[in-house]
Amino acid sequence: MGLADLSGLAYPWDTLTPYAERARAHPRGVVDLSIGTPVARPPAAGGAARAAATDAHGYPTTHGTPARREAVSAWFARRRGVPGLDPDAVLPTVGSKELVGLLPSLLRLGPGDVVVHPRTAYPTYDVGARPAGAPPRAPVAGDAGAGRADVRLVWVNSPSNPTGRVLDAAHLARVVAAAREIGAVVASDECYAELAWTEPFTTTGVPSLLDPAVCGGSHDGLLVTYSLSKQSSMAGYRAAFVAGDAALVADLLATRKHLGMIVPAPVQAAMVAALSDDAHVAAQRDVYARRREVLVEALTGAGLVIDHSEAGLYLWTRPADEAAGDCWLTVSALADRGVLVGPGAFYGTEGAGHVRVALTATDERVHEAAARLSGGLPLA
């Protein structure tokens, strides 16, 4: 069986075009808060390491350099509460989205296998199941596929894109226990883990699936994907990795070797430098914290409500009046002010009353958005 045809599947962001055109017509220009593309420069250490590694005349290994694998292991121990991660159980990926989109296929899932993903979630969890022919399924509340023998992969996303919700260790442990009962793999997308805004996560950190308190000290059946796009503004580098169950990582590695899915050597060198430098992450987090404070005040002052948003680069926002909870009305009203945001409908039916507001514009644009929101926001 070949890959399923995705050519007829609409790309959600294309439907935002008319609102983007209206926002761009604002006399003072558009404030684009619709996507999480970083505007800051990557860390100097990462750029220097990349430049120093440009004499990359030989093929890099698919498994990645020992230095990069060891840097990931050290980062997990230092920043995520995961001691003793085997460097061999770490694999570089070309950004995290390709791993999310291809994991069901790389795990050789197919018709009859079910992929479970969060009910409100980035579309790629759903889309990634389709090329494999494995039906995607958003669980009902409290259900991670427990008791279903056909569930083969359970996606977790904490902190969540788009909601910013963080799952605590007890919640993650329940997901792991339920998945292990039915022999399913749990894959956790933790790309926003360094960007917590509320307690207890600002003090204790965002729990990882590989934390001993979650997994009982065993990484069997567990994978974590992480990207440097968010914490280090390295989205253009496509620098990410997957880690966890050594046997699963070895299986992914074998397939990726055959397919030539290799991360360039200069990018790997930049990853080592960025993962070893906590100071730039803290500095960038402070920048986002200031922008977040401005936008929270502006949005709530305009009569909107922010739900969850405990971590990450977005504010999950809706009208205070639940009856006005059509995300497209909010998108339209903001576009009239020259502010472009992401419709919650992109992330599932339960997001249809919200919009996603990104923190990734420049300070000047964020303050411009706040000025335009003063005086409220008509949603009739």
Strands 31-33 and 339-343: parallel
User: Long-range contacts for 306-310 (Cβ within 8 Å, ≥24 apart)?
Assistant: 307/163, 307/354, 308/160, 308/163, 308/164, 308/165, 309/163, 309/164, 309/197, 310/159, 310/164, 310/165, 310/166, 310/196, 310/197, 310/198, 310/201
Q: Which long-range contacts (CB under 8 A, 24 or more apart) does 330-335 make?
A: 330/304, 330/355, 330/377, 330/379, 331/16, 331/19, 331/355, 332/19, 332/22, 333/377, 333/378, 333/379, 334/23, 334/377, 335/19, 335/20, 335/22, 335/23
Q: What is the mean pLDDT of residues 303-324?
A: 90
316-350 tens-digit pLDDT: 999 988 655 799 999 999 999 999 999 999 999 99
pLDDT tens digits, 90-102: 999 999 999 999 9
Is residue 284 pLDDT above 90, yes or no? yes
DSSP per-residue string spanning 5-31: P-TTSPPGGGGGHHHHHHHHTSTT--E
- Rg for the chain (alpha carbons), in Å? 21
When comparing pLDDT for 15 and 314, which is higher? Answer: 314
Local confidence band at 149 (pLDDT 50, 70, 90 cut-offs): confident
Q: Give the chain's mean pLDDT.
A: 92
Residue 86's pLDDT is 97
| Whole-number Å distance between alpha carbons of 14 and 223 | 31
Would you list the DSSP string of 72-132?
Answer: HHHHHHHHSS-TT--GGGEEEEETTHHHHHHHHHHTT--TT-EEE--SS--THHHHHHHHH
Confidence of residue 238 (pLDDT cuts 50, 70, 90): very high
Order across the sheet with 114-116: list the strands: 90-94, 239-244, 222-227, 185-189, 151-157, 114-116, 136-137
Q: What is the DSSP letter of 139?
A: P
**Higher local confidence (pLDDT), 137 or 83:** 83
Six token digits for residue 265: 């050597």
Q: What percent of the chain clears pLDDT 70, i.e. is strictly above it?
A: 94
What is the mean predicted confidence (pLDDT) over 130-155?
A: 76
| Mean predicted confidence (pLDDT) in 308-322 | 93
Q: What is the average pLDDT across 276-299?
A: 96
Q: What is the pLDDT of residue 315?
A: 98
Domain covering 63-277 in this structure, CATH number: 3.40.640.10
Contact in structure between 114 and 148 (CB atoms under 8 Å): yes
pLDDT digits (tens, 9 = 90+) for 25-74: 999 999 999 998 999 888 887 788 787 778 788 899 999 999 999 999 99
Chain centroid to Cα 249, Å, comes to 20
Average pLDDT over residues 175-187: 95
Q: What are the extents of the domains in the chain? A: 12-41+280-373, 63-277
In this prediction, residue 55 carries a pLDDT of 79
Cα separation of the two ends of the chain: 50
Give the confidence band of 141 by pLDDT, cuts at 50, 70, 90. very low
**Portion of the chain with pLDDT greater than 90, in percent:** 80
Least confident range from 47-51, 101-105, 126-130, 239-243: namely: 47-51
The answer to whether residues 261 and 59 touch, using CB atoms and an 8 Å cutoff, is no
Match domain 12-41+280-373 to its CATH number in 3.40.50.620, 3.90.1150.10, 3.30.110.70, 3.40.309.10.
Answer: 3.90.1150.10
Average pLDDT over residues 77-81: 97
| pLDDT at residue 143, as a whole number | 56
Q: What share of the chain is helix, strand, coil (3-state, %, to 5)?
A: 45, 15, 40
